Amino acid sequence: MQSTTTADVPAGRDRQRRLRRVRGLSAIMAAACLTTSALLTAAMAFYWAATPTRTLLSQAGLANSPATELDVTVRALGFVVAMLPLAALIYGLLSARRCFKAFAAGDIFSRRTIGHLMAFAVAVAGSAFLKPFTGAAMSVLLSASVATGTKTLAFHIGSDTLIALIFAGAVAIIAWVMTEAADLSDENKQFV
Protein backbone atom coordinates (compact mmCIF):
# COMPACT_ATOMS: atom_id res chain seq x y z
CA MET A 1 0.00 0.00 0.00
CA GLN A 2 1.30 3.40 -0.95
CA SER A 3 0.90 6.32 1.39
CA THR A 4 0.34 9.90 0.31
CA THR A 5 2.47 12.55 1.91
CA THR A 6 1.41 16.15 2.39
CA ALA A 7 4.00 17.18 -0.23
CA ASP A 8 2.27 14.97 -2.83
CA VAL A 9 -1.11 16.70 -2.47
CA PRO A 10 0.06 20.25 -3.39
CA ALA A 11 2.20 18.84 -6.21
CA GLY A 12 -0.85 16.98 -7.56
CA ARG A 13 -2.99 20.11 -7.35
CA ASP A 14 -0.31 22.14 -9.08
CA ARG A 15 -0.13 19.57 -11.89
CA GLN A 16 -3.91 19.60 -12.28
CA ARG A 17 -3.92 23.39 -12.44
CA ARG A 18 -1.22 23.33 -15.15
CA LEU A 19 -3.17 20.72 -17.12
CA ARG A 20 -6.35 22.83 -16.92
CA ARG A 21 -4.37 25.77 -18.30
CA VAL A 22 -2.97 23.64 -21.14
CA ARG A 23 -6.49 22.40 -21.95
CA GLY A 24 -8.00 25.89 -21.87
CA LEU A 25 -5.29 27.51 -23.98
CA SER A 26 -5.36 24.58 -26.39
CA ALA A 27 -9.10 25.05 -26.91
CA ILE A 28 -8.48 28.73 -27.68
CA MET A 29 -5.67 27.86 -30.09
CA ALA A 30 -7.87 25.28 -31.86
CA ALA A 31 -10.50 27.96 -32.45
CA ALA A 32 -7.82 30.44 -33.58
CA CYS A 33 -6.45 27.95 -36.14
CA LEU A 34 -9.89 27.45 -37.66
CA THR A 35 -10.68 31.18 -37.69
CA THR A 36 -7.29 32.02 -39.21
CA SER A 37 -7.78 29.43 -41.95
CA ALA A 38 -11.10 30.97 -42.97
CA LEU A 39 -9.77 34.53 -42.75
CA LEU A 40 -6.69 33.72 -44.86
CA THR A 41 -8.83 32.27 -47.62
CA ALA A 42 -11.23 35.23 -47.57
CA ALA A 43 -8.34 37.72 -47.49
CA MET A 44 -6.66 36.07 -50.49
CA ALA A 45 -9.92 36.18 -52.48
CA PHE A 46 -10.42 39.84 -51.55
CA TYR A 47 -6.80 40.65 -52.43
CA TRP A 48 -7.14 39.26 -55.96
CA ALA A 49 -10.54 40.84 -56.48
CA ALA A 50 -9.82 44.33 -55.12
CA THR A 51 -6.09 45.09 -55.32
CA PRO A 52 -5.14 47.60 -58.03
CA THR A 53 -3.22 46.19 -60.99
CA ARG A 54 -0.16 48.37 -60.31
CA THR A 55 0.14 46.87 -56.79
CA LEU A 56 -0.27 43.29 -58.05
CA LEU A 57 2.45 43.83 -60.64
CA SER A 58 4.78 45.49 -58.16
CA GLN A 59 4.40 42.70 -55.61
CA ALA A 60 5.13 40.13 -58.32
CA GLY A 61 8.44 41.86 -59.09
CA LEU A 62 7.10 43.68 -62.15
CA ALA A 63 7.17 47.25 -60.86
CA ASN A 64 8.26 48.75 -64.20
CA SER A 65 5.49 47.13 -66.25
CA PRO A 66 2.75 49.34 -67.68
CA ALA A 67 -0.40 49.07 -65.60
CA THR A 68 -2.93 47.82 -68.10
CA GLU A 69 -5.90 46.45 -66.19
CA LEU A 70 -5.85 42.71 -65.52
CA ASP A 71 -8.95 40.90 -66.66
CA VAL A 72 -11.02 38.61 -64.45
CA THR A 73 -9.43 35.45 -65.89
CA VAL A 74 -5.89 36.57 -65.02
CA ARG A 75 -7.01 37.59 -61.53
CA ALA A 76 -8.72 34.20 -61.05
CA LEU A 77 -5.59 32.36 -62.23
CA GLY A 78 -3.49 34.55 -59.93
CA PHE A 79 -5.75 33.59 -57.04
CA VAL A 80 -5.38 29.87 -57.85
CA VAL A 81 -1.58 30.12 -58.06
CA ALA A 82 -1.38 32.15 -54.85
CA MET A 83 -3.60 29.63 -53.07
CA LEU A 84 -1.15 26.75 -53.58
CA PRO A 85 1.24 27.64 -50.72
CA LEU A 86 -1.66 29.08 -48.74
CA ALA A 87 -3.59 25.82 -49.12
CA ALA A 88 -0.61 23.92 -47.69
CA LEU A 89 -0.48 26.38 -44.79
CA ILE A 90 -4.23 26.06 -44.19
CA TYR A 91 -3.89 22.26 -44.15
CA GLY A 92 -1.17 22.75 -41.54
CA LEU A 93 -3.38 25.05 -39.47
CA LEU A 94 -6.19 22.48 -39.57
CA SER A 95 -3.70 19.80 -38.48
CA ALA A 96 -2.58 22.09 -35.65
CA ARG A 97 -6.25 22.54 -34.75
CA ARG A 98 -6.68 18.76 -34.44
CA CYS A 99 -3.53 18.66 -32.29
CA PHE A 100 -4.81 21.45 -30.03
CA LYS A 101 -8.22 19.80 -29.76
CA ALA A 102 -6.50 16.60 -28.63
CA PHE A 103 -4.49 18.59 -26.05
CA ALA A 104 -7.74 20.21 -24.85
CA ALA A 105 -9.22 16.72 -24.40
CA GLY A 106 -6.18 15.67 -22.34
CA ASP A 107 -4.74 13.49 -25.11
CA ILE A 108 -1.18 14.79 -25.10
CA PHE A 109 1.29 12.02 -25.92
CA SER A 110 -0.76 9.78 -28.22
CA ARG A 111 0.50 8.77 -31.65
CA ARG A 112 -2.49 10.49 -33.25
CA THR A 113 -1.78 13.82 -31.52
CA ILE A 114 1.91 13.66 -32.39
CA GLY A 115 0.94 12.82 -35.98
CA HIS A 116 -1.15 16.00 -36.17
CA LEU A 117 1.81 18.02 -34.89
CA MET A 118 4.09 16.41 -37.50
CA ALA A 119 1.52 17.11 -40.24
CA PHE A 120 1.52 20.76 -39.17
CA ALA A 121 5.32 20.91 -39.47
CA VAL A 122 5.33 19.23 -42.90
CA ALA A 123 2.57 21.54 -44.18
CA VAL A 124 4.40 24.68 -43.02
CA ALA A 125 7.58 23.42 -44.70
CA GLY A 126 5.62 22.61 -47.86
CA SER A 127 4.07 26.07 -47.89
CA ALA A 128 7.47 27.72 -47.45
CA PHE A 129 8.97 25.54 -50.17
CA LEU A 130 6.14 26.30 -52.63
CA LYS A 131 6.18 30.06 -52.07
CA PRO A 132 9.21 30.95 -54.29
CA PHE A 133 7.97 28.68 -57.10
CA THR A 134 4.45 30.07 -57.08
CA GLY A 135 5.94 33.56 -56.96
CA ALA A 136 7.91 32.73 -60.10
CA ALA A 137 4.79 31.33 -61.77
CA MET A 138 2.93 34.49 -60.75
CA SER A 139 5.55 36.73 -62.38
CA VAL A 140 5.25 34.78 -65.64
CA LEU A 141 1.44 34.86 -65.51
CA LEU A 142 1.22 38.57 -64.82
CA SER A 143 3.98 39.59 -67.25
CA ALA A 144 2.31 37.55 -70.00
CA SER A 145 -0.91 39.48 -69.43
CA VAL A 146 0.76 42.91 -69.75
CA ALA A 147 0.79 44.34 -73.29
CA THR A 148 4.56 44.93 -73.51
CA GLY A 149 5.30 41.52 -75.02
CA THR A 150 8.12 40.98 -72.50
CA LYS A 151 7.87 37.95 -70.24
CA THR A 152 9.47 38.06 -66.81
CA LEU A 153 10.46 35.27 -64.45
CA ALA A 154 11.15 36.55 -60.92
CA PHE A 155 12.33 33.98 -58.39
CA HIS A 156 12.69 35.22 -54.82
CA ILE A 157 13.60 33.49 -51.59
CA GLY A 158 13.13 35.80 -48.63
CA SER A 159 13.98 35.58 -44.97
CA ASP A 160 10.33 34.74 -44.20
CA THR A 161 10.69 31.56 -46.28
CA LEU A 162 13.88 30.56 -44.50
CA ILE A 163 12.41 31.29 -41.08
CA ALA A 164 9.31 29.24 -41.91
CA LEU A 165 11.54 26.31 -42.93
CA ILE A 166 13.53 26.56 -39.68
CA PHE A 167 10.29 26.80 -37.67
CA ALA A 168 8.86 23.75 -39.44
CA GLY A 169 12.07 21.82 -38.78
CA ALA A 170 11.97 22.74 -35.09
CA VAL A 171 8.34 21.60 -34.75
CA ALA A 172 9.13 18.36 -36.60
CA ILE A 173 12.00 17.64 -34.22
CA ILE A 174 9.75 18.36 -31.23
CA ALA A 175 7.22 15.89 -32.65
CA TRP A 176 9.95 13.25 -33.03
CA VAL A 177 11.10 13.86 -29.45
CA MET A 178 7.48 13.47 -28.29
CA THR A 179 7.33 10.16 -30.19
CA GLU A 180 10.45 8.96 -28.40
CA ALA A 181 9.00 10.06 -25.05
CA ALA A 182 5.77 8.17 -25.77
CA ASP A 183 7.76 5.05 -26.74
CA LEU A 184 9.83 5.29 -23.56
CA SER A 185 6.68 5.72 -21.48
CA ASP A 186 5.13 2.64 -23.12
CA GLU A 187 8.29 0.62 -22.39
CA ASN A 188 8.28 1.72 -18.75
CA LYS A 189 4.62 0.72 -18.36
CA GLN A 190 5.52 -2.80 -19.43
CA PHE A 191 7.98 -3.14 -16.52
CA VAL A 192 5.45 -2.15 -13.86
Q: What pLDDT was estimated at residue 146?
A: 74
Helical axes 72-104 vs 111-145, angle rounded to 10°: 170
- The identity of residue 116, as a single letter, is H
pTM for the complete prediction? Answer: 0.84
* Cα angle 110, 163, 124; round to 5: 40
Q: What pLDDT was estimated at residue 9?
A: 63
Q: What pLDDT was estimated at residue 12?
A: 80
Supply the mean pLDDT for the chain.
89
In three-state form (DSSP H/G/I as H, E/B as E, the rest C), the secondary structure along the chain is CCCCCCCHHHHHHHHHHHHHHHHHHHHHHHHHHHHHHHHHHHHHHHHHHHCCHHHHHHHCCCCCCCCCCCCHHHHHHHHHHHHHHHHHHHHHHHHHHHHHHHHHCCCCCCHHHHHHHHHHHHHHHHHHHHHHHHHHHHHHHHHHHCCCCCCCCCCCCCHHHHHHHHHHHHHHHHHHHHHHHHHHHHHHHHHC
By the 10 Å C-beta count (0-12 exposed, 13-18 middle, 19+ buried), 149 is classed as exposed
First to last CA, the chain: 15
pLDDT tens-digit profile of 134-164?
A: 999 999 998 888 766 677 888 889 999 999 9
Indicate if the pLDDT at residue 119 is higher than 50: yes
